[in-house]
Structure 1
Amino acid sequence: MFFSVVIPTYNRKPILEKCLRAMEHQTLAPQSAVTGYEIVVVDDGSTDGTVTWLQTHAAAFPHVRLFEQTHLGPAAARNLGVEKAKGDYIIFIDSDLVVLAGFLQAHADALQRGLQATGSDRVFTYGTVINTCNFETPTAEPFKITDYSRAYFATGNVAIARQWLEKAGLFDTRFQLYGWEDLELGVRLKQLGLKLISCPEAVGYHWHPPFTLDQIPSLIDKEIQRGRMGVLFYQKHPTWDVRLMIQMTWLHRILWGGLTLGGALNERTMAPLLRWLINHGKPQLALEIARIFLNWYNVQGVYAAYREAQSS
């Protein structure tokens, strides 16, 4: 079992360094099923000096193989990573994820258990992702209820046999805006009969900067982009399950419309509360509260994109 760890990156040099150093310091068990690993970094047109830095510090990252593309988005970057990978198993992580030393071994053990339990190689493993804004020691963050995920296939921390990615057709590169390209591939993998094997021991710490009010415009833009990509997801797979995932249901309109009083509770009216929470050292709580109106923007965005698609 040779792992290719595929990492797309775009303007994340500071946290990418922590990500790669953690990947370089993996501990494998005696007689491990893992025969070796490589780290396939695909730079998606970064402008922050990522490529030059990696080339200059190549000796510090002996497992890294670097590839470049113009800014085409994470779907195209992951596809390029799979194309260039040497491994029979692919692990996808994001470039802002810092893993523990036993990360690769945990995925290997879970894959072995899955193969034995099912008697089939139609399995993949999904690890734990813990969100943190602690840049200095991201792995010190405890697991929180908000870190729980029911995603079937998400590229933040997943290991899968390369052959199944190729049989499913890899990522759809039409997903160039934010969101859904990995879950859409997950639908196709499920149609091939692949089974998710939970792998809580493969822990990754997903770093993001502490929430500030300055981030709100970009977060709103991401929700609108997610709405547009959600409609593409639904056009490919017009099912009720997908409608639930992308929040294109009357339930979501009532829920987020009601919680925001029809949009009256928004980034402007809630700014004083959010600022107070941030100033009192509770940026994560402020972000969770902001998600109320961010979800309303998403619901509005998905319906606007759907109307546009219907009229075109």
Structure 2
Amino acid sequence: MTAVAAGHSHGAPAISVLIPTFNRREIALRCIAALDAQQLPPGTMEVIMVDDGSSDGTAAAILAAGARMATPITCLTQSNAGANAARNRAIAASRAPLALFLNDDSIAAPGMVAEHLRQHAAHPAETDAVLGGLLLPEAPPPGLFEVLHHDAALAVRPAGEDLGWRAFYTFNLSVKTSLLRRHGGFNPDLRWHEDIEFGRRLSADGLRVLHAPAATAVHLHPMNEAGWLGIADREGRALAAWLVHEPGLRDELVQLGLHSLKLGTRAPRHAMADLVLKLLTEPAALWVARRLARRQPKAAAAVYRKLFQARKRRAIDAALPDGFV
């Protein structure tokens, strides 16, 4: 493992922006460029990006770009071990009392980091975290799968509301660094729902996740059919792994989508959907969805959501050990 640093040091910063990345060099470059354009006094912020074993030259590109920026940019590299392992490395390297987690495809609006700092000044308790907003880009218009991948439900929640541990989303989330370190960091064995699992552990200590939609980033994540449906498989496997690790969380995990034939947690409506998809077969349902997508995107989205949930349920049952109840 190696570490490379770029940019210019201004002493201990007020906030560290922590970003895992993997094989998305061009988007990662846009991410750090948006951070360098933040409306902040010099020395307020440092950026720590952890390259999780990329093969596209991400680390070298970040180093070269960071050398031209006023913001201190550090890029750590590691063999591919997942986003949680990368986040833990970044936490260990952080020099600031506040940690702001971004995904590499979260492109910060100019006042985003300043708003996180303002929120923490107003909410100084160690267990107060702040979740910023995440918007789809306006141009070019997002495609069907970008819309399906985007969680629009948070946008209607009031500013200042405590969203709870289930909203511990690291796409735009700031937390006191001392709280993260005191609880041992993220679970590196999880590859999906890996952030909210840590949020659940922190909730035992009184975690609040305060909604700050004015701390805005744009989600720049091109998505196609295979990529979106693949998330269903990853999410299902992660829910099964989480249950095996913490069986006592069964009821809470059902609320997150742990609907399983093996566990008896599959609702009647899920059984009906699975029966229909088995009768149609998934290829036929995909054919219908693709045809609808050309002229009736809303109808296509409804079919794709059914396919997604059915695939997630199959992935959960496949990942659960035989005899596990």
Question: What's the TM-score once normalised by structure 2's chain length?
Answer: 0.79
* Equivalent residues of 1:110, 1:125 under 8 A apart: yes
What one-letter code is carried by the residue in structure 1 that aligns with 2:289? Answer: L
* Equivalent residues of 2:172, 2:217 under 8 A apart: yes
**Distance between the aligned counterparts of 1:79 and 1:278, measured in 2?**
40
Answering whether residue 161 of structure 2 is matched by residue 153 of structure 1, we say: no
Question: Which residue number corresponds to residue 258 of structure 2?
Answer: 247
What one-letter code is carried by the residue in structure 1 that aligns with 2:102? Answer: I
Answering whether residue 32 of structure 2 is matched by residue 27 of structure 1, we say: no
Question: Which residue number corresponds to residue 268 of structure 1?
Answer: 283
What one-letter code is carried by the residue in structure 2 that aligns with 1:46? Answer: S
Question: Which residue number corresponds to residue 103 of structure 1?
Answer: 112
1:305, CA displacement in angstroms? Answer: 1.8
Comparing 41-50 and 226-235, the one that deviates more: 226-235
Distance 1:245 1:35, change over 3 A: same
**Distance between the aligned counterparts of 1:202 and 1:285, measured in 2?**
33
Question: Which residue number corresponds to residue 75 of structure 1?
Answer: 84
List structure 1 runs of 4+ shifted beyond 6 angstroms.
none
Question: Which residue number corresponds to residue 121 of structure 2?
Answer: 112
Aligned length: 293
1:293 aligned counterpart, secondary structure? helix
Question: Which residue number corresponds to residue 193 of structure 1?
Answer: 206
**Distance between the aligned counterparts of 1:22 and 1:46, measured in 2?**
21
* Equivalent residues of 1:27, 1:101 under 8 A apart: yes
**Distance between the aligned counterparts of 1:288 and 1:128, measured in 2?**
25
1:92 aligned counterpart, secondary structure? strand
* Equivalent residues of 1:133, 1:208 under 8 A apart: no
Q: How do residues 1-312 of structure 1 correspond to structure 2 at under 5 angstroms?
A: 2-28=14-40, 36-63=44-71, 64-115=73-124, 120-132=125-137, 134=139, 146-149=151-154, 151-175=166-190, 177=191, 179-211=192-224, 215-216=225-226, 218-237=227-246, 238-239=248-249, 240-248=251-259, 252-264=266-278, 267-280=282-295, 282=297, 286-287=300-301, 289-308=303-322, 310=324
1:57 aligned counterpart, secondary structure? helix
The percentage of counterpart residues that share the same residue type is 22
1:6 aligned counterpart, secondary structure? strand
**Distance between the aligned counterparts of 1:268 and 1:133, measured in 2?**
32
**Distance between the aligned counterparts of 2:70 and 2:295, measured in 1?**
43
Comparing 262-271 and 296-305, the one that deviates more: 262-271
Question: What's the TM-score once normalised by structure 1's chain length?
Answer: 0.82
1:108, CA displacement in angstroms? Answer: 1.4
After superposition, the CA RMSD in angstroms is 3.1
**Distance between the aligned counterparts of 1:136 and 1:299, measured in 2?**
31
Residues 196-232 of structure 1 show CA distances to partners (whole Å, capped at 9, x for unaligned) of: 2111111111122153xxx32x444432232222122
**Distance between the aligned counterparts of 1:2 and 1:90, measured in 2?**
9
**Distance between the aligned counterparts of 2:223 and 2:295, measured in 1?**
13
Give the unaligned 5+ runs of structure 2: 1-12, 155-162
Distance 1:252 1:39, change over 3 A: farther
1:128 aligned counterpart, secondary structure? strand
**Distance between the aligned counterparts of 1:300 and 1:292, measured in 2?**
12
Comparing 191-200 and 266-275, the one that deviates more: 266-275
Distance 1:51 1:171, change over 3 A: same
